[in-house]
Structure 1
Amino acid sequence: MGYSDFLARAVGVSAVAFACSACSQVSSDSAPTNAAEPQRLPTGAMLDPAGARSDVGSFPLAVVASPDSAYLLLLLNGWRQQGVQVVDRRTGAVVQTAEQSAAFIGLAFSPDGRTLYASGGNTDAVYRYGWNGKRLARKDSLTIRTKWNARASGTSYPAGLAVSRDGRRLYVTENLADSVAIVDLASGAVIQRVASGRYPYAVVVGANGDVFVSSWGTRDVHVFREHPDGLVAETRIPVERHPSTLLLSANGERLFAVSASTDAISVVDTRRRTVVSTLRDPTPANLGQGSTPMGLQLSGDGATLYVTEGDNNAVAVFALSAATAGRGSGVKDSLLGRAPVGWYPVAAAIVGDTLHVVDAKGRGTAPNPRLPQPGATDAAARAVSYTAGQINGTITRLAVADLGGSRLEQLSARVVRANHWENRATAAGMPPVTHVIYVIKENRTYDQVLGDLPQGDGDTSLVFFPRSNSPNHHALAERFGLFDRFFVNAEVSADGHNWSMAAYTTDYTQKTVPSNYSSRGRSYDYEGTNRGRVPLDDGDDDAAEPANGYLWDLAQRKGITFRNFGEFVAPERTTGAAPAGYRGLKPFLRANTSRAFPGYDLDIPDQRRADVWISELQGFAAAGAMPRLQIVRLPNDHTSGASAGKPTPQAYMADNDLALGRMIEALSNTAFWEKTAVFVLEDDAQAGPDHVDSHRSVLLVISPWARAGLHRRFVNTTDVIATMETILGLDALSPFDHYGRPLREIWRTSPDVRPYRALTPSVPLTDRNPGRGRGADESRQLDLRYEDVAEEDLFNRILWRSIKGPAHPYPGPTRMSAAEVLRSW
């Protein structure tokens, strides 16, 4: 049965499949299947795993089975925790955790099974462990750092690992050095480096001595030949964009290379060094991205390929043709169906009759534990309260026998239902609006800003910025509608700005953000730059850029007018203390970005940003034409904590609030007002507590057509994007907005065109933090040059003391997950 056939049948039986969600069978050596109701994630997808599950550590990205298959060894890559974890395969119990300062992607056993190698990320080392059949014992670490960078860390950034056939050498992809290091295991010395493209990711060794390396930032797999002196470069094989995971068939004749960001797997004939087929792994929308295939496993006969799909929360099952497999009698390649697993599955291992799937984000958002009081030294307890620290993995076990036939049809139906693929897009239900203004702010939760509105579900004890401090936010919510079930898709700003602009985040973004945010040596690569440089300037491909681009690319394809104010920009050359202007970091942005409008810079008041925007609005009014899509960045609700001499957090928020109010007042006094909708949201909600969920945040929809009152329905970032796309007649960027839930029910039948009048916060915008004291001293530890580089737990505590005072202990948030909220409705 082909993909279209399975999909049609899956939609037809999806209701039956959901009713049988507790009926999954696993192999006899697995734990009983978990019976649970489907749960909604902040991304909007439902979580409905089919197999038995066990909990593991923080954000696992790699798995290998022990030589006797009794254990699974995971590499943890989370914000909170990195290192190696040993899991009993039969019980699912974690039996050992070997923490490392850092880790990234690579995990490999020696040929004799007595030694395990684990990459060390920004330590520029590979950790070497002895394995006695049950436990790990660290032997030493192999230094990969180059001599001329002997004191620098994170210049190599070991990632994928493979041991030579004779066990004498270790091949290490250097993810930030764009090379492969060859380590002599007897001496521990690096004996050679060979270039391997931008962001090399995985390395595998064939039985004939071929060594293959995927280049995550290009479109190539590099091929080398083993030689007594090291490796000899032979050729590059063009594959699909940004190849990552590699898998060799048992006979070594086929190499499978995943392109997660294009929903494709390139299949290479290793003897001819050519691509013989490309397996496509689309959602029904067939948008060229959104399934995010990552982990690969082949059946014993080589005729079936199992692929973990990070953003479908599923495992795809492919039947391979004889030409693709290099063996067997298959006639054509077919996507047979899918089985649901946990959140963001990234890797898998087949042991016996069971497929073990590693879900990097596991069970989704969860209630936060009680935080320690200020001054406490329990760093571990603090760590698990932070949004990124909540992310823990799971292992989902699926019986291989279930991944075929009628059972696979039932499981496929559950995947369809969980991802809302039965939804049909329609333009109905939207007001006669022709202009959209999209305002992005920084990091606030619902409770921090609107928790004091009695008509909504707020916790007044968690309010940072009450009505007196943010009167325009409150007034706009009351006049145009209050959303107390808005959730951001993202955990932090790195993925937040990509979710907000692209309705999608690539595997590069998801896999590197935890290390970037935990100060483990990676640059902030997520808003048009890589390693502090602009790839566009150098002719390189942006490693983090989604295949379908961003909202402005949709505008370009549709031919509608567009203007950008501060998003994905960088300062131009400086003249004295101030930049000469700001430029967009993507091609279409360069011609459509306001040079006068600053990007993220907390030393520039949002009043200046409002001045620039209002000035351009006046020009639009004089010309009688305004761009149909505008993106505006208002970042100063981020605040600088208690940094000496900087505005107080309340002053920052007052600045942000007044800027928004002034913009709406100016707009409401133009002829464009009746035809315009303004969408205001935070890119993420990491910077504080919320009693419902760590992803719940602030959403304002402002328009003469917007209906007042409480709107208590699930809505997330990509639902808002879907709403804007529907209004403007744009195509979708990813399955998340294509199958989203546009805001159709919030509009009035006739417009209320009364102008809005901005309110002045009672907090002076000129208030400054004291130059001395605990807050000032602690704030010196915060790096506030870029959004969210600062250590967030410390930042939030500084904010709390600055706003609430020492008499109010830092709270233990009583949050529940979005899934629990929705189940209670």
Structure 2
Amino acid sequence: MGPGRLLVMLIFAVAVFALAGCEGGGGTTTSVQFLPNMDQYLTPLAPPGARFETLNPGLADKPDWLAGQAVTSVKSPDNKTLLVLTSGYNRVYTSTPSTPYPWYSPDSNEYVFIYDISTNTPIKKQVVTIPNSYNGIVFDPSGKAFYVSGGVSDNVHVFSQGADGIWAEVNAPLALGHNNMGNGLPWSADFGNGSINLQIGVKPCAAGLAISRDGKTLVVANYYNDSISVFRGGLNNWGPATELDMRPGKSGGTVGEPGGEYPFWVAVKGTEADGTATAYVSSIRDREVVVVDLNGALGVKARVKVVGQPNKMTLNRDQSLLYVVEDQSDRIDIVRTSDNTLVGTIPVIAPAAALPASLAGFTGANPNSVTLSPDEKRLYVTNGNLNCVAVVNLDAARTGGQVAGLIPTGWYPNSASISADGTWMYVINGKSATGPNPDFRYSYGPPSRPNGFLTNHYNPQLTKAGLQSLPLPAATQLWRLTAQVAANNRFSYADGARDQEVMKVLQANIKHVIFIIKENRTYDQILGDLEKGNGDPALAEFGEPYTPNMHAMARAFVTLDNFYDTAEVSNDGWAWTTSARAPDVVERQYAVAYASRGLSLDTEGTNRSVNVAYKTLAERKAANPLTPDDDDLLPGQTDVAAPDGPNNEVNKGYLWDAALRRGLSVRNYGFFVDQTRYNVPLAAGGIPLVKAPASTGTQVAYPASAALAPYTDIYFRGFDNSFPDYYRYKEWEREFDAYETAGNLPTLSLVRFMHDHTGNFNTAIDGVNTPELQQADNDYAVGLLLEKIANSPRYKDNTLVFVIEDDSQDGGDHVDSHRSIAFVAGAYVKRGALVSSHYNTINFLRTIEEVLGLPPMNLNDALARPMTDIFTTTPAPWSFVAKPAPILAGTTLPPFAALSPVSRARAPKSTHDARYWAQATRGMDFSSEDKFNFAQYNRVLWKGLMGNKPYPAAPSGKDLRRNRKELLARYHLALK
């Protein structure tokens, strides 16, 4: 062991606790903060002299409201002013409906925070607003103006400083002119019956900005139009935009060849005045830096291929070198601009001495910005997923180097700026820990208090941004800070002896795993009324009357009352739940999309609603007739949101990829299925609601993952709220019965039961058309599957069933907004146990991997402990009988279709009928999980379900494991 490694290990064990007494400034004195959904610690005050402050825009009517999702920081040319831009959710709700979006208050903006940094310590001077944004901001070289990309507004805002020092937008934004259209599936289709509104199209998005040194050329990355727009003229004299489509088939190259798509960041070299003006544009999907000649007519002159996803970039002072930070591959690429050649790469996860050998080859740090020191001897790289800044020492030629150390930050750093003298650093962080959200109610809530929609307790609203400022640490301090980052991220983790013993037994005896993913519920929302565990019955909106099988599983096997979904919403939830990571492109997009600020939900195989699992245009049109006749629309099979596997295997970072690499058999029921056709008219290519499609050979599922396509059951309908989970279960049962007979059940089965999401009340079939009924339908399907396994002589003792929610965004919880339900059932699971061990989504996936003998997929699961506390090494007999919720007796699902009218009339009733819910949710797009504003949907549901029923307030953060009998008695009394 080298001296550096030894030092890290010595400091590692005490690093977190040694800082417990530290204090900081700028609005916080908390030196150590735990992220339960990530199993990480945050220590932004660990660097000596560090300050951390939240971003308060100073809203007149909400003075305590804080902004979230800070993404980019830039300095003024004189180095005295720092700008911090937000691009994310930042919606503020009001009880008074307003336009264009009901309940969005006039405060629902994005922000530029303006700080004076002339004395190093940042002093907030002003906050300006823009309606929308997406990461791009740049100062004019004169220092008299700055420019902000308008995101879905498809424009560029120009702010100038007046004589009084106040910044203001004095002219109309610079228009980009994309007519509200991005490159994706169309907004409407005409199949001879007139134009049909499809609600699946995508809008434009202005992203990265860069300006030439003379201030005469401004370049904008059109993120969803695969192009750049160039303005010429200069401050107060900008002409109209000139646009270049960077796709090869549109710019003089080969038709149907990938290139230039999802352009995110821009750097500009030279000037048009001397004929050297060149733009460097990062193409995230196609993993290249597109080099564009800006002199005269625009044209692509080179494409620099890279391994990972190129993110932000910076040029050195003489513009001879371009430094490009890469997500996925976790490195810096160095491009020589004289000939546009890649001349060097630098890994940026951590110093070699700080990483155990067991982590070699894994990625997942999410590096997302790079900053060059004033003396050009160092790079500072924000590692979003490791909550740190990597300090990279460059070699003498500046084309190589290595990480010298790590500086701890807040949660998910997105950008760093360095003072002119190189002594201070400013780091902006996009997120924060959320804590409990007991006032965020899907349905019930105390009538004397506003619901979570109005109290702004939605997950993306609860994650707040922060500005960390600090003197740059001396070399002697850097190792201690590196050790702190290592401790925060559990770099020294190794399985204990019992963990190894338990997993060895499971690996020897478990031959099959059935992995079920459900949608959007918190622990209290479902199990708050359970007689054991830390649940608050006041928040049990879908308790035992609607979820008897979830309750039975918790009682019969293990109640996990300290389990957390890693994700914030479904969009990043499907990434975390299937791969134990969310790439930076997902982290940047989801909050913007959920705020109805444009962008699409790309994490289940479709990009901009285009199914990229199919290679050719003919194949795509056969799978989806809505696909436009354009060979250059996202050609190839690269999925921009998919994680890479070990050793930079592109898009192969999912659980099923790990299983397939090991030669295991896989079967897919509903994961990564194209959802665009389920909620469009049949005339526009919709797929009919066929209850038993296999019997007629009717394909109802079109795979949206190239890797999963050969293993996907095309008769198992994907995400569609009109279709009961009961029929999904029946299709799974049809195949399972065949496997039972043949003895060839796949090793890993992926099953999506999604109806607890709820929606589509006007088109839902068989009377399963209210929130309560859809929740009960989902619960029954899970129970039926478990009963089927329990009754299988061949598989009951060598199969484990894992059940998880992809996220917990849709309800309140008195412990943490991420706390959720999770279940595991089988012969080797403990019986009737309450297990309060801290676990999250990543532990869940690591457990499945360990059971199947799979290696980790990335840094996150490599550092996660398997959930061995729920298992026993001695199998025990088990059984399970599915029990339908009584409310289902009022539906016409097959198990209840033969009931007499009297029995049907006796069934419990929903609070409102389908007509009410259809009217209340009119205009909401249920074609994909959370494709609309989900916080608004929660308000509608709260209003419809709560009525005037009194409900006890939730004691946030309290341990409610004790005195459960008394607590539940009070709860049931209050309901009478």
TM-score (normalizing by structure 2)? 0.78
Q: Which residue of 1 aligns with 2:110?
A: 82
RMSD: 2.9
1:419-464 per-residue CA deviation (whole Å, 9 max, x = no partner) reads 1110124743223322211110000111111000131111111111
Cα distance between partner residues in 1 of 2:219 and 2:704: 35
Q: Which residue of 1 aligns with 2:342?
A: 275
Query: Residue 14 of structure 1 contacts residue 413 of structure 1 at CA under 8 Å; is this kept in 2?
Result: yes
Q: Which residue of 1 aligns with 2:43?
A: 48
Query: What does 1:791-806 correspond to in 2, within 5 Å?
Result: 791-806=933-948
* C-alpha spacing 1:213/1:413, structure 2 compared with 1 (3 Å): same
Cα distance between partner residues in 2 of 1:397 and 1:564: 48
Match of 1:437 among 499, 507, 514: 514
* 2:198 corresponds to 1:198: no
Cα distance between partner residues in 1 of 2:89 and 2:166: 25
Cα distance between partner residues in 2 of 1:641 and 1:149: 26
Cα distance between partner residues in 2 of 1:101 and 1:25: 36
Q: Which residue of 2 aligns with 1:590?
A: 709
Q: Which residue of 2 aligns with 1:9?
A: 7
Match of 1:651 among 736, 761, 773: 773
Query: Residue 516 of structure 2 contacts residue 750 of structure 2 at CA under 8 Å; is this kept in 1?
Result: yes
Q: Which residue of 2 aligns with 1:215?
A: 283
| Matched position secondary structure for 1:657 | helix
> How far does residue 33 in structure 1 lie from its aligned partner after superposition?
9.3
Letter in 2 for 1:58: G
* 2:782 corresponds to 1:664: no
Cα distance between partner residues in 1 of 2:327 and 2:929: 27
Q: Which runs of 5+ in 2 are unaligned?
A: 56-66, 91-108, 188-200, 248-259, 271-275, 615-634, 646-652, 678-684, 691-697, 892-908, 960-976
> How far does residue 261 in structure 1 lie from its aligned partner after superposition?
1.8
Q: Which residue of 1 aligns with 2:31?
A: 36
Letter in 2 for 1:543: V
Q: Which residue of 2 aligns with 1:345?
A: 413
| Matched position secondary structure for 1:258 | strand
| Matched position secondary structure for 1:552 | helix
Q: Which residue of 2 aligns with 1:544?
A: 641
Match of 1:255 among 309, 322, 325: 322
Cα distance between partner residues in 1 of 2:469 and 2:657: 40
| Matched position secondary structure for 2:294 | strand
| Matched position secondary structure for 1:584 | coil
> How far does residue 310 in structure 1 lie from its aligned partner after superposition?
0.3
Query: Residue 368 of structure 1 contacts residue 813 of structure 1 at CA under 8 Å; is this kept in 2?
Result: no
* C-alpha spacing 1:149/1:729, structure 2 compared with 1 (3 Å): closer
Q: Which residue of 1 aligns with 2:550?
A: 473
1:440-498 per-residue CA deviation (whole Å, 9 max, x = no partner) reads 00001111110001311111111111212111110110110101111000000000011
> How far does residue 93 in structure 1 lie from its aligned partner after superposition?
5.3
Match of 1:145 among 166, 174, 177: 177
Match of 1:97 among 127, 130, 142: 127
> How far does residue 650 in structure 1 lie from its aligned partner after superposition?
1.3
1:506-545 per-residue CA deviation (whole Å, 9 max, x = no partner) reads 1111101111111112122110010111223231421111
Cα distance between partner residues in 1 of 2:686 and 2:706: 22
* 2:929 corresponds to 1:783: no
Match of 2:161 among 131, 145, 156: 131
Match of 1:388 among 446, 460, 466: 460
149-158 or 423-432: bigger deviation: 149-158
795-804 or 738-747: bigger deviation: 795-804
Letter in 1 for 2:922: R
Match of 1:158 among 186, 206, 216: 206
Cα distance between partner residues in 1 of 2:269 and 2:36: 40
Query: Residue 40 of structure 1 contacts residue 47 of structure 1 at CA under 8 Å; is this kept in 2?
Result: yes
Cα distance between partner residues in 1 of 2:522 and 2:21: 38
* C-alpha spacing 1:142/1:535, structure 2 compared with 1 (3 Å): same
TM-score (normalizing by structure 1)? 0.91
> How far does residue 791 in structure 1 lie from its aligned partner after superposition?
2.2
Cα distance between partner residues in 2 of 1:461 and 1:583: 41
Cα distance between partner residues in 2 of 1:525 and 1:236: 25
573-582 or 488-497: bigger deviation: 573-582
| Matched position secondary structure for 1:745 | helix
Cα distance between partner residues in 1 of 2:772 and 2:700: 28
> How far does residue 233 in structure 1 lie from its aligned partner after superposition?
2.7
Letter in 2 for 1:15: A
Cα distance between partner residues in 1 of 2:447 and 2:669: 41
Cα distance between partner residues in 2 of 1:593 and 1:147: 38
Amino-acid identity (%): 31
| Matched position secondary structure for 1:684 | coil
| Matched position secondary structure for 2:544 | coil
Query: Residue 104 of structure 1 contacts residue 158 of structure 1 at CA under 8 Å; is this kept in 2?
Result: yes
Higher strand share: 1
Query: Residue 601 of structure 2 contacts residue 608 of structure 2 at CA under 8 Å; is this kept in 1?
Result: yes
1:82-123 per-residue CA deviation (whole Å, 9 max, x = no partner) reads 232223445545443322221001001111011110011111
> How far does residue 790 in structure 1 lie from its aligned partner after superposition?
2.9
Cα distance between partner residues in 2 of 1:545 and 1:817: 38
> How far does residue 580 in structure 1 lie from its aligned partner after superposition?
2.1
Q: Which residue of 2 aligns with 1:21?
A: 19
Cα distance between partner residues in 2 of 1:586 and 1:427: 34
* C-alpha spacing 1:5/1:781, structure 2 compared with 1 (3 Å): farther
Cα distance between partner residues in 2 of 1:665 and 1:552: 25
| Matched position secondary structure for 2:7 | helix
793-802 or 295-304: bigger deviation: 793-802
642-651 or 412-421: bigger deviation: 642-651
1:600-634 per-residue CA deviation (whole Å, 9 max, x = no partner) reads 11111111111111221111111122111111100
97-106 or 343-352: bigger deviation: 97-106
> How far does residue 282 in structure 1 lie from its aligned partner after superposition?
3.5
Q: Which runs of 5+ in 1 are unaligned?
A: 327-331, 819-825
Q: Which residue of 1 aligns with 2:75?
A: 65
May I ask how many residue pairs the two structures share in their alignment? Answer: 801
Q: Which residue of 2 aligns with 1:365?
A: 434
Q: Which residue of 2 aligns with 1:605?
A: 724
Query: Residue 665 of structure 1 contacts residue 755 of structure 1 at CA under 8 Å; is this kept in 2?
Result: yes
1:197-250 per-residue CA deviation (whole Å, 9 max, x = no partner) reads 0011111112453321111111211112331x3544321112232211111111
| Matched position secondary structure for 2:12 | helix
Q: Which residue of 2 aligns with 1:179?
A: 227
Query: Residue 73 of structure 2 contacts residue 85 of structure 2 at CA under 8 Å; is this kept in 1?
Result: yes
> How far does residue 380 in structure 1 lie from its aligned partner after superposition?
11
| Matched position secondary structure for 1:674 | coil
Q: Which residue of 1 aligns with 2:566?
A: 489
> How far does residue 264 in structure 1 lie from its aligned partner after superposition?
1.4
1:224-281 per-residue CA deviation (whole Å, 9 max, x = no partner) reads 2331x35443211122322111111112111111111221111111113111111112
Cα distance between partner residues in 1 of 2:613 and 2:181: 27
1:541-572 per-residue CA deviation (whole Å, 9 max, x = no partner) reads 21111111201100110111111110101268
1:283-335 per-residue CA deviation (whole Å, 9 max, x = no partner) reads 63134421111121222221211111001101111111223x16xxxxx6222
Q: Which residue of 2 aligns with 1:554?
A: 658
Cα distance between partner residues in 2 of 1:358 and 1:239: 27
Cα distance between partner residues in 2 of 1:180 and 1:8: 50
Q: Which residue of 2 aligns with 1:329?
A: none
Q: Which residue of 2 aligns with 1:189?
A: 240
Q: Which residue of 2 aligns with 1:306?
A: 380
Q: Which residue of 2 aligns with 1:821?
A: none
164-173 or 307-316: bigger deviation: 164-173
* C-alpha spacing 1:88/1:378, structure 2 compared with 1 (3 Å): farther
1:696-750 per-residue CA deviation (whole Å, 9 max, x = no partner) reads 1111111121112111111000100011111111011121111112111221242
Match of 2:802 among 655, 679, 683: 679
Query: What does 1:308-347 correspond to in 2, within 5 Å?
Result: 308-323=382-397, 325=398, 333-347=401-415
659-668 or 380-389: bigger deviation: 380-389
* C-alpha spacing 1:649/1:378, structure 2 compared with 1 (3 Å): closer
